[in-house]
Amino acid sequence: MVVGEKCCNDLTEGTVGTESHADFLNFLDRRKRFVGSSKWQANNDGSLSIRRSGIAILIVMTAPGQFRFHLDEAHGKVDHPTILDAKISAFDFVESGKAAAYLAERLQRAKSASHRSQ
């Protein structure tokens, strides 16, 4: 019985579990607000656009029932079955920091290529 009490105390003493759970719930709330935001603009060509963390996000239909997101001038390559899936994927990519890193690397490659061609 003592072992069970010690294990239980170890699990309930710290706040690690509750903090990570709260962080996860906060993330889900931010994602929900992003996909339902009134800041999404419908464009004449049927695409949707918004800015998040300084990055322009554009969602386009590539074929009936197929949607992709573009970031700034970088065109996405992955199709999503719904606009909602494309919005969620874009949010996750931007929130993770991977979008900013990818765009910075892409810009650096473009600068290097232009210096070599001169």
d(CA 8, CA 89): 38
pLDDT at 44: 98
pLDDT in tens, 81-117: 999 999 999 999 999 999 999 999 999 988 887 766 6
d(CA 42, CA 96): 25
d(CA 11, CA 18): 11
Name the residue among 30, 61, 25 with its Cα closest to residue 43. 61
Q: pTM for the whole thing?
A: 0.80
Domain spans in the chain, listed from the N-terminal domain onward: 1-35, 39-118
55: left (phi over 0), alpha (psi -120 to 50) or beta: beta
Q: With cut-offs at 50, 70 and 90, classify the pLDDT of residue 10.
A: low
Strand-strand pairing, 48-52 and 41-42: antiparallel
Question: In the predicted model, is pLDDT for residue 60 greater than 70?
Answer: yes
**CA–CA distance from 43 to each of 50, 60, 71 (Å)?**
11, 10, 16
Strand-strand pairing, 66-71 and 55-63: antiparallel
Report the pLDDT averaged over residues 7-17: 65
Report the pLDDT averaged over residues 7-30: 80
Q: How many C-beta atoms lie closer than 10 Å to residue 99's C-beta?
A: 22
